[in-house]
Chain A
Amino acid sequence: MGVISTTILVIGGIGVLAAIVLYFVAKKFYVYENPKIAEIEELLPGANCGGCGMSGCHAFAKACAETDSLDGFNCTGAGKDIMEKISVIVGLEAKAGIRRVAVMKCNGGCSERQIVNNYDGVTSCAMEGALYQGETDCNYGCLGRGDCVASCIFDALHIDSESGIAVVDHEKCVGCGKCVKTCPRGLLELVPVIDDKPIVWVTCMNHDKGALAMKECTISCIGCGKCKRVCEHGAVDVEDFVAHINPELCVGCGECEAACPRGSITHIGDLIPTKKEAES
């Protein structure tokens, strides 16, 4: 009896004492937090991706609960429905944020870009790009070591086993922009997804002059400007030997893709027929 009951009494006594102390301490140091914050946080994905521009989901929830207007608030990971639920909680009108996805501006896989040397150093694009210039002659293309894959918390990027370059899964991508910041060659770009409009973009960042770019990769942009000439909407710019399509101006007709002699323009979604095509 002796030892066991003493133990139970002593430990139990300490427990009760601690509980009383803790109760008063909790009362004394109680911090009021808007209950809406917890409610909103519950709705958010909790990935802390930073796509909203804040440090994480809690910071976003707090900002939502304390703001006077939901203008500019957009959780890229959660999407429209969640933003509407949040607007109900805080009693403010939420403007539908634009969904963005990342597009990969290099399409030069092993068969298009010849491998001229072998790199056997650390598996990291940042390191390979900083200490050497990659295994191919192209100094601008995807290094394929997967820094972007490691940075993506939504599993929307992978290195294609055949081509050896990074590929974006546009279904999974929420447009948080982590990969954009990570890629040492700046090959990823966030473009808006507007309703059913297809996304058309240039899959090359090679700034070398045409003749050189041609040698370096079979599907490189040579800056010939054909895409710019065929575009009726002024959406294409050619600067420093590379074309770039402005997603705001692009209507998604795909004329540039058809005109490109190098096959360095691609799209996702269904192309919208031009007036001419519609008539015929």
Chain B
Amino acid sequence: MKLKTFRKGGIHPAPSKLTSGMPIVEIGVSSEIRLELAESIGVPARCIVKPGQSVSAGEMIAEAAAFVSAPVHSPVAGTVKRIEKLRDPQGFWREAVVIATEHIETAVDEAEEALSPRTQDEVDALTPKEIIDIVGNAGVVGLGGATFPTRVKLSIPEGKKAEVVILNGAECEPFLTCDEVLMCGYPDRIVAGCRLIMKAVGVDRAIIGIEANKPQAIAAFRRLLKGCDDISVQPLKMKYPQGGEKQLIYALTGKEVPEGGLPVDAGAVVDNVATAYAVYDAIYNRKPLTQRVVTVTGPHLKKPGNYLVKIGTTISSIIEAAGGLPEDTGKVIAGGPMMGKAMSRLDAPTTKAISGILVLPESMSKRRSEEPCIRCAKCVSVCPMGLEPYQMMNLSIAKRFEDITKLHVMSCLECGSCSYVCPSHRPLLDYIRYAKQEIRKMPKK
């Protein structure tokens, strides 16, 4: 059978899924939790606690400050120590709340006890609006990496209609396996979350797209969904970036999202499988999003694995739990090797966006020297959006940002395929990211 995939471009990096099939291991709570207020894209949350105030596990510490904004909750019981500026992994200053954990040993159990789960009847009685509100108040954001507030995604703009919910289980990034273990371990909860999303957006059809290199996950869903005709499982061809929102919609429905449009313009609502799990947790267990599965991996790491991490735990302590930094470490990357960004400091806390911590040895992380463009057009042929990366890089060097907008640079999903294939090792994506930042700063006409 021919597997479904997207139409244009794409590459085949080595999967390198070292942690595939490894169980989810919980990391102990650290004595200090530091929560960034900008946990989602859009406006950072507004802090509602004061230093010295004690907070319980799951208590909201910052509320949504705008429509595109998500609240932040404390993963532990403790005392707010201070509200300060701290550096994120790239070194930028971010507002954050620092919480000192009480009873490190029992913090988690207490939190579990305090919440009485909703019964199936109670869940069935929820209206779509109530589901969206609960999900919004639980601070659920897209866990694929873009951290788009799920509440916004589920609130379909007036005049538009969703036809299908798509769950993104492609996980096309090499090395990352956090979604895979979640799909193999808790397919029932993901399906329950998926049904809630379907109810919230008012559709009766859902597709779970999974790359064919995860047969166990596909089998797990197939077993569970036997006899159900509302949700189907669709194996996808192994091709990067299969998990890009627009690529996935095309692969599964054959529809294209117009430029600058939302997935709902193509009748689709796309959520990551981990997000569906978070929706399940928020509705059934009344648990806000305070933890996530993070793949900690690397060829020379002692104990690579899939770790359940409290948001706000320091990155260095997570690496410590995975056996510590190997001596020959060249780079530590937040996310996967394709889209992830190198971290310039490890004392920063994790955020909801960080799905993987990749520790690369020096031999694998060196950038090769940049050579002149030979106009081979490889970058053009692999671009999944049909853009011209070489041209955008040239214009970015010349700082001709207005001209780059004409080349539809804002459609770039920053997948990095162009930099990956360039035989001259040109840092195409760096220049494109820089141009996108400058364009966002320009006054809107």
Determine if A2 is an interface residue (Cβ-Cβ < 8 Å).
no
Closest beta carbon of chain A to B278's beta carbon, Å: 29
Interface residues of B in 363-378 (CB under 8 A from A): 366-367, 370
The answer to whether B91 touches A122 (Cβ under 8 A) is no
Interface residues of B in 90-141 (CB under 8 A from A): 90-93
How far is B341's CA from A128's CA once the two chains are assembled, in angstroms? 13
Determine if B434 is an interface residue (Cβ-Cβ < 8 Å).
yes
List the B side residues contacting A130 at CB < 8 Å. 433-434, 437-438
Determine if B344 is an interface residue (Cβ-Cβ < 8 Å).
yes
List the A side residues contacting B437 at CB < 8 Å. 130-131
The answer to whether A122 touches B93 (Cβ under 8 A) is no
List the B side residues contacting A126 at CB < 8 Å. 434
The answer to whether A122 touches B344 (Cβ under 8 A) is no
Q: How many residues of A contact B (CB 8 A)?
A: 15
Determine if A121 is an interface residue (Cβ-Cβ < 8 Å).
yes
The answer to whether B345 touches A131 (Cβ under 8 A) is no
**B160-183 toward A: CB 8 Å interface, digit per residue (1/0)?**
000000000000000000000000
The answer to whether B341 touches A122 (Cβ under 8 A) is no
- Quick one: given A116-B344, A119-B344, A120-B367, are A134 and B91 in contact (CB under 8 Å)? yes
List the A side residues contacting B328 at CB < 8 Å. none
List the B side residues contacting A135 at CB < 8 Å. 344
Determine if B222 is an interface residue (Cβ-Cβ < 8 Å).
no
Q: Which of B87, B342, B427 contacts A133 (CB 8 A)?
A: B87
How far is B342's CA from A132's CA once the two chains are assembled, in angstroms? 9
- Quick one: given A122-B427, A132-B90, A133-B90, are A117 and B345 in contact (CB under 8 Å)? yes
The answer to whether B430 touches A133 (Cβ under 8 A) is no
Q: Which residue of A lies closest to B393 (CB)?
A: A122
Determine if A139 is an interface residue (Cβ-Cβ < 8 Å).
yes
How far is B91's CA from A117's CA once the two chains are assembled, in angstroms? 10
List the A side residues contacting B344 at CB < 8 Å. 116-117, 119, 132-133, 135
How far is B434's CA from A133's CA once the two chains are assembled, in angstroms? 13
How far is B399's CA from A126's CA once the two chains are assembled, in angstroms? 10
Interface residues of B in 304-328 (CB under 8 A from A): none
List the A side residues contacting B341 at CB < 8 Å. 131
- Quick one: given A131-B90, A133-B91, are A122 and B433 in contact (CB under 8 Å)? no
The answer to whether A121 touches B367 (Cβ under 8 A) is yes
Determine if B431 is an interface residue (Cβ-Cβ < 8 Å).
yes
The answer to whether A120 touches B366 (Cβ under 8 A) is yes
The answer to whether B434 touches A139 (Cβ under 8 A) is no
The answer to whether B431 touches A127 (Cβ under 8 A) is yes
The answer to whether B427 touches A121 (Cβ under 8 A) is yes
Q: Which of B87, B93, B370, B434 contacts A127 (CB 8 A)?
A: B434
List the A side residues contacting B433 at CB < 8 Å. 130-131
Q: Which residue of B lies closest to A126 (CB)?
A: B434
How far is B93's CA from A133's CA once the two chains are assembled, in angstroms? 9
The answer to whether B434 touches A131 (Cβ under 8 A) is yes
List the A side residues contacting B438 at CB < 8 Å. 130
Interface residues of B in 337-376 (CB under 8 A from A): 341-342, 344-345, 366-367, 370
Closest beta carbon of chain A to B332's beta carbon, Å: 10
How far is B441's CA from A130's CA once the two chains are assembled, in angstroms? 12
List the B side residues contacting A131 at CB < 8 Å. 90, 341, 430, 433-434, 437
How far is B334's CA from A131's CA once the two chains are assembled, in angstroms? 14
Q: Which of A120, A127, A133 contacts B92 (CB 8 A)?
A: A133
Q: Which residue of B lies closest to A134 (CB)?
A: B91
- Quick one: given A130-B437, A131-B90, A134-B91, are A121 and B345 in contact (CB under 8 Å)? no
How far is B367's CA from A121's CA once the two chains are assembled, in angstroms? 8
Interface residues of A in 113-151 (CB under 8 A from B): 116-117, 119-122, 126-127, 130-135, 139
Interface residues of B in 408-442 (CB under 8 A from A): 427, 430-431, 433-434, 437-438
Closest beta carbon of chain B to A114's beta carbon, Å: 12
How far is B435's CA from A122's CA once the two chains are assembled, in angstroms? 13
The answer to whether A132 touches B427 (Cβ under 8 A) is no
List the B side residues contacting A127 at CB < 8 Å. 430-431, 434
Closest beta carbon of chain B to A142's beta carbon, Å: 15
List the B side residues contacting A122 at CB < 8 Å. 370, 427, 430-431
The answer to whether B91 touches A139 (Cβ under 8 A) is yes
Q: Which residue of B lies closest to A127 (CB)?
A: B434
Closest beta carbon of chain A to B55's beta carbon, Å: 26
Closest beta carbon of chain B to A161's beta carbon, Å: 21
Closest beta carbon of chain A to B85's beta carbon, Å: 8
Closest beta carbon of chain A to B397's beta carbon, Å: 9
How far is B93's CA from A132's CA once the two chains are assembled, in angstroms? 11
Closest beta carbon of chain B to A129's beta carbon, Å: 10
How far is B438's CA from A116's CA once the two chains are assembled, in angstroms? 27
Q: Which residue of A lies closest to B344 (CB)?
A: A117
**A184-225 toward B: CB 8 Å interface, digit per residue (1/0)?**
000000000000000000000000000000000000000000
List the A side residues contacting B370 at CB < 8 Å. 122
How far is B438's CA from A134's CA once the two chains are assembled, in angstroms? 18
Interface residues of A in 76-94 (CB under 8 A from B): none
Q: Which residue of A lies closest to B341 (CB)?
A: A131
List the A side residues contacting B91 at CB < 8 Å. 117, 132-134, 139
Q: Which residue of A lies closest to B437 (CB)?
A: A130
How far is B428's CA from A122's CA once the two chains are assembled, in angstroms? 10
Closest beta carbon of chain B to A117's beta carbon, Å: 4
Q: Which residue of B lies closest to A116 (CB)?
A: B345
How far is B87's CA from A135's CA once the two chains are assembled, in angstroms? 13
List the B side residues contacting A117 at CB < 8 Å. 91, 344-345
How far is B370's CA from A121's CA once the two chains are assembled, in angstroms? 10
How far is B441's CA from A126's CA once the two chains are assembled, in angstroms? 14
Closest beta carbon of chain B to A98's beta carbon, Å: 30
Closest beta carbon of chain A to B273's beta carbon, Å: 29
How far is B367's CA from A133's CA once the two chains are assembled, in angstroms? 19
List the B side residues contacting A133 at CB < 8 Å. 87, 90-92, 344
Q: Name the 6 nearest CB pairs between A and B, nearest first.
A: A133-B91, A117-B344, A127-B434, A120-B367, A130-B434, A130-B437
Given contacts A131-B434, A133-B91, A139-B93, 18 further A-B contacts (CB under 8 A): A119-B344, A121-B427, A122-B370, A122-B427, A126-B434, A127-B431, A127-B434, A130-B437, A130-B438, A131-B90, A131-B341, A131-B430, A131-B437, A132-B91, A132-B344, A133-B90, A133-B92, A134-B91
Cβ contacts A to B, 23 pairs, < 8 Å: A116-B344, A117-B91, A117-B344, A120-B367, A121-B367, A121-B427, A121-B430, A122-B370, A122-B427, A127-B430, A127-B431, A127-B434, A130-B434, A131-B341, A131-B433, A131-B437, A132-B90, A133-B90, A133-B92, A133-B344, A134-B91, A135-B344, A139-B92
